Amino acid sequence: MRNRSHRTRQLTDLIVRVLSGMAAMVGVFALGWILYEVLARGIRAINFSFFTELPVPPGMPGGGLANAIVGTLIITIMATVLGVIIGMFAGVYLAEYGKDRPYANSVRFAANMLMGTPSIIIGVFVYALMVLPAHHFSGYAGAIALAIIMLPVIARTTEDMMNLVPNALRESALALGAPRWKVTTSVVFKSAKTGLLTGVLLAVARVSGETAPLLFTALNSPYWPKTLNGPTANLTVSIFNYAMSPYSNWQQIAWGASLLIMISVLAVNISARFLFRGEKDNAG
């Protein structure tokens, strides 16, 4: 093995640092540019009517996306409930019961594969499973599609956070005669609650901007979402439709909806960062 001089190692280290710094700057610049463009173009569409009025016919001024905002909240909340319940049960099994058993390893592998599956494929799957047999689009199908996307994120986060809880806590509770389920819900969950909440927030942020699954499931609607058993208004598909239209008013509203989603996702991610930092501080 050839020994390199101290000067050569310093030069190599400097080159790597410069290249790494430049790569980081490119990422920050791209993010800043996107944030600036969306903020500059979208802020002009944000007004009282944007949050309170229904969409207007093409070419007419005014209107808003109140129905899409309400529809997005309903679909996201329903997806979160389904994804959190199933995902946390799966995570509890992997962390507390499955461990390194073959079935648990298969579940982990499936979760990892599902995390990498393009969302449009999940949308097509739910379309074939729910939309085609019912012969109509529905908000329920959209919620199922988003829940499937959230499920592996919550399951793996739940497993990782519960594995961080020291075994001494479990053993102490079991030694006092507490049943296993009580130890899991009262001791392990309480110790990992910040990390679990962080996983839920990250999963919500993951699905907040999804368009492809909703195109195949919930589609869109210009009316209030009085029922989810039919096409349901949502922000992401509205952005897609409005941005592709030739009407300047609709394009402006699309920028406003993009700004609303961007602010929501940023808020969720920042909240998750603060929560996770608090979890690490407590662990330290």
Supply the DSSP string of the chain, one letter for each residue: -PPPPHHHHHHHHHHHHHHHHHHHHHHHHHHHHHHHHHHHHHGGG-SHHHHHSPPPPTT-S----HHHHHHHHHHHHHHHHHHHHHHHHHHHIIIIIITT-HHHHHHHHHHHHHHTS-HHHHHHHHIIIIIHHHTS--HHHHHHHHHHHHHHHHHHHHHHHHHTS-HHHHHHHHHTT--HHHHIIIIIHHHTHHHHHHHHHHHHHHHHT--HHHHHTT---SS--S-SSS----HHHHHHHHHTSS-HHHHHHHHHHHHHHHHHHHHHHHHHHHHHHHHHHHH-
- The whole-number pLDDT of residue 3 equals 59
What's the whole-model pTM score? 0.88
Mean per-residue pLDDT for 116-127?
94
Mean per-residue pLDDT for 93-106?
91
**Per-residue pLDDT for 242 more than 70?**
yes
Summarised one tens digit per residue, pLDDT across range 43-87 is 999 999 999 999 988 878 888 999 999 999 999 999 999 999 999
What the chain holds in terms of domains, given with CATH numbers, is 48-283 (1.10.3720.10)
pLDDT, the chain, mean: 90
Q: What percent of the chain is modeled with pLDDT above 70? A: 95
Mean per-residue pLDDT for 169-179?
88
Among the ranges 2-16, 115-129, 267-281, which has the highest mean pLDDT value? Answer: 115-129
